[in-house]
């Protein structure tokens, strides 16, 4: 098929390459030319605008950063909507507000263009290995048409419901991830404070009921104090803000999420916005006081 991809960062770049590995033609757009270079070197056609991508594509994928970014590349000047053909499909795969996904889907539908909101979970490693978990919202028939393409990107591909349902599922995913990361940071900080080796404590916890993918990935980085970026903290800050906003709209309290947001805010304020989420460990550590040695 003739495909397009907009947003070629740490997630989008390997995803687009995986689609190309299955023989699909690819048109690409990135705000920074160097981000598109690996795709162009592999045979993709570089485009000057999102509209140019849409004009060359039957299906356009997006992996941008925020709701406002998607609105700009789809509905803005020289956006996808300007040139998308009737019967084409937009598949947005970043994490955005569910209401924005629904609104953009309605605007595209007026022009005869279908849309799936299909955010992913798994991180850069899963993007490279085409083993992402994909949660999709949109029309059943559109999902079935797109499923072979989504299978080039992930192993778990589930249709969650109508437009916005994919993004709502991702909100729940990020909520659970972030609260679990907070618990992992607190557990490993307490272990170190008690004189234990956090690497060995994590190893034991992984084999028990505390074990999780969060403990496996982020716990390892916390235990070894490797705060280099996987997915940057600022992006989790954005995701948690969406979760809290949606919860407010629905009248649902999220006390644990509210606490985690304070710590993510603190990590960003301390200069770790572009570091890995594991940097919240340092926030927890700063809550400690020097031990009392008595008289």
Residue-by-residue DSSP string for 171-192:
HHHHHHHHHHHHHHHHHHHHHH
The tally of CA atoms less than 13 A away on the side-chain side of residue 157 is 19
Domains plus CATH for the chain? 2-162 (3.40.50.720), 168-285 (1.10.1040.10)
Q: What percent of the chain has pLDDT above 90?
A: 94
β-strand pairing of 132-137 with 120-121: antiparallel
* Ramachandran bin of 58, using left for φ above 0, alpha for ψ from -120 to 50, beta for the remaining angles: alpha
Query: In the prediction, which pLDDT does 229 show?
Result: 72
- Kind of pairing between the strands at 2-6 and 25-29: parallel
Q: How many residues would you count in the chain?
A: 295
* 3 state DSSP class of 231: coil
pLDDT at residue 289, as a whole number: 80
Q: What is the CA radius of gyration of the chain?
A: 21
To the nearest 10 degrees (0 to 180), the angle between helices 33-41 and 12-21 is: 20
Q: What is the pLDDT of residues 26-78, one digit of tens each?
A: 999 998 888 999 999 999 999 999 999 999 999 999 999 999 999 999 999 99
Q: What is the pLDDT averaged over residues 183-194?
A: 98
Q: Give residue-wise pLDDT tens across range 227-241.
A: 987 789 999 999 999
Question: What is d(CA 109, CA 197) in angstroms, rounded to the nearest whole number?
Answer: 56
pLDDT at residue 292, as a whole number: 63
Q: Would the pLDDT of 126 be above 80?
A: yes
Q: Residue 45, SS3?
A: strand
pLDDT, mean of residues 210-233: 92
CA distance 149 to 145: 8
Banded pLDDT at 291 (limits 50, 70, 90): low
Q: Which of 251, 243, 202 lies closest to 225, judged by CA?
A: 202
Question: How much is the mean pLDDT over the chain?
Answer: 95
Active site residues: 170
Res. 295 pLDDT band, cuts 50 70 90: very low
Residue 293 has a pLDDT of 61
Q: What pLDDT is recorded for position 159? A: 98
pLDDT at 179: 98
Percent over 70 (pLDDT), the chain: 98
**Can you give the pLDDT at residue 194?**
97
What is the pTM assigned to this prediction?
0.92
294 has a pLDDT exceeding 80? no
d(CA 84, CA 13): 22
Q: Which runs of consecutive H residues, i.e. helices, occur in the chain?
A: 12-21, 33-41, 50-55, 67-75, 80-83, 98-109, 123-129, 140-150, 165-193, 198-206, 213-224, 233-250, 255-267, 280-285
Start-to-end Cα distance in the chain: 77
């Amino acid at each position: 098929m003739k495909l397009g991809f907009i947003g070629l960062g740490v997630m989008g770049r390997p995803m687009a390459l995986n689609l190309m590995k299955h023989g699909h033609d690819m048109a690409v757009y990135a705000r920074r030319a160097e981000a598109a270079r690996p795709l162009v070197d592999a045979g993709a056609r570089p485009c000057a605008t999102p509209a140019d991508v849409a004009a060359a594509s039957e299906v356009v994928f997006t992996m941008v950063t925020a709701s406002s970014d998607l609105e700009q590349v789809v509905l803005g000047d020289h956006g996808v909507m300007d040139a998308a053909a009737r019967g084409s499909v937009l598949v947005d795969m970043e994490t955005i507000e569910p209401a924005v996904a629904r609104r953009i889907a309605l605007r595209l539908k007026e022009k005869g263009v279908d849309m799936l909101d299909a955010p992913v979970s798994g991180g850069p490693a899963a993007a490279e290995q085409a083993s992402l978990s994909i949660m999709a919202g949109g029309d059943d028939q559109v999902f079935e048409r797109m499923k072979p393409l989504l299978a080039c990107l992930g192993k778990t591909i589930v249709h969650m419901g109508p437009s916005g349902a994919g993004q709502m599922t991702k909100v729940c995913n990020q909520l659970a991830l972030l609260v679990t990361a907070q618990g992992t940071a607190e557990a490993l900080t307490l272990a170190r404070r008690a004189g234990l080796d956090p690497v060995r404590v994590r190893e034991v916890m992984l084999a028990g009921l505390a074990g999780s993918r969060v403990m496996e990935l982020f716990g390892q980085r916390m235990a070894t104090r490797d705060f280099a970026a996987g997915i940057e903290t600022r992006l989790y800050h954005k995701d948690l803000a969406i979760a809290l906003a949606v919860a407010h709209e629905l009248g649902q309290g999220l006390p644990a999420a509210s606490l985690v947001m304070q710590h993510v805010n603190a990590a960003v304020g301390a200069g770790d916005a572009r570091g890995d989420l594991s940097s919240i460990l340092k926030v927890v550590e700063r809550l400690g006081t020097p031990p009392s040695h008595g008289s």
